Homo-oligomer: A and B are copies of this chain.
């Protein structure tokens, strides 16, 4: 090799972008060799010695592999900020998460974390509301938010959909969301659904005096269509737009976030398809990386895992993601770089997927108050249906906050007693 970007004495500068990778070199390559090629391919290099490469470029812009751990197969690379276009997640990914995944000299490659310097952080909008802004809108100060996903995933008419939402709110839940694959289908078109569901929301608000939220899935094939759907939400008094951020993609998300400066909706980010990228522990990228990118882009709420339930994701990892999207200054751990978020607001973490009300004490112990707990089947599969299922959730939360066990609380709540019988 004519270039060697490995320099273990190099001290990364505060204004550089740092990446941490897990790298399994292909047979015949050392980790250092793979590291040099990866660092080059993700920045200034091509695969061969070329005449057009000037020494000045090479000196100023070259990457530095400043950490190589052959036992753990982890490397860290420092990139000059000039290599990147400010404010563009697609350009960042095309650099540090692009061609390198396909190189023959690696067998597996996983992007573990990215550290963003101040100038880079400052070039993004971040959340419009963030965790505290959402609390203000919903007027809920210091407890977890409770939500549900209308089920079945798809197949209900707009009328049925609105009724399920109505029951869930009336039972005591704060927010109701569409499922990730429900957008604008013939059996339940977007405008009718939003109109009827928001009408139901207002009725419940009048009855209960509580603020409620409806997260309408505006994900669409074009940004224009997403904006059009957001305007329908606004027209009917909605507060939320939900986006499937991975299947829509980062340009779709960043485009909508920019438009949202005027629209002023809370953005709820669903992460469907993330596990195609994040699940294999040796390849792709971590959910942490996706979550940090989502925070930069500016989602207000983000699914991060449940620790318990039907979806994969272990406790240490989920809580680490939580810290990285909530804290202003994140300390370094073995999973992540230190990260200062400067003026970027915290994201409200969401735990969703296979949860039921009996898990609420455990979930509260794991996540504390700053979490949105979403129950799908855990509400609608309650023996007495959605309304009672919602009440069971709320009763379970109220008991937990009061330091009362669910068993004791169930004596005064028939709904909770039924839930305990089913899921306890």
Judge whether A151 and B377 touch: CB under 8 Å: no
Closest to A249 in B: B249
Q: Which of A12-20, A68-76, A90-98, A205-213 lies at the interface?
A: A90-98
Partner of A251, one of B223, B270, B353: B223
The complex places the Cα of A206 from the Cα of B12 at a distance, in Å, of: 49
Closest to A313 in B: B102
Judge whether A380 and B46 touch: CB under 8 Å: yes
The complex places the Cα of A151 from the Cα of B49 at a distance, in Å, of: 10
The complex places the Cα of A274 from the Cα of B100 at a distance, in Å, of: 10
Q: How far is the CB of A83 from chain B (nearest CB, A)?
A: 6
Q: Which of A126-134, A135-143, A275-283, A395-403 lies at the interface?
A: A275-283
Q: A94 contacts which chain B residues (CB < 8 A)? A: 180-181, 183, 219, 244, 247, 270, 272-273
The complex places the Cα of A99 from the Cα of B271 at a distance, in Å, of: 8
Those of A13-53 within 8 Å (CB) of chain B: 41-53
The complex places the Cα of A150 from the Cα of B57 at a distance, in Å, of: 14
Answer whether A258 and B180 are a contact pair too, CB < 8 Å, given A47-B354, A53-B151, A104-B311.
no
Q: Taking A50-B380, A98-B273, A226-B251 as given, write out 19 further A-B residue pairs in contact, using a Cβ cutoff of 8 Å, ordered by the A residue number.
A: A43-B181, A48-B381, A50-B377, A51-B381, A82-B186, A87-B221, A90-B249, A91-B219, A94-B219, A94-B273, A99-B275, A102-B275, A103-B312, A220-B251, A221-B250, A247-B249, A249-B249, A255-B255, A276-B285
A residues apposed to B, CB below 8 Å: 41-54, 57-58, 61, 82-85, 87-91, 93-95, 97-99, 101-104, 108, 149-156, 160, 164, 180-181, 183-187, 219-224, 226, 244, 247-255, 258, 270, 272-277, 279-280, 283-285, 310-313, 353-354, 356, 376-378, 380-382, 385-386
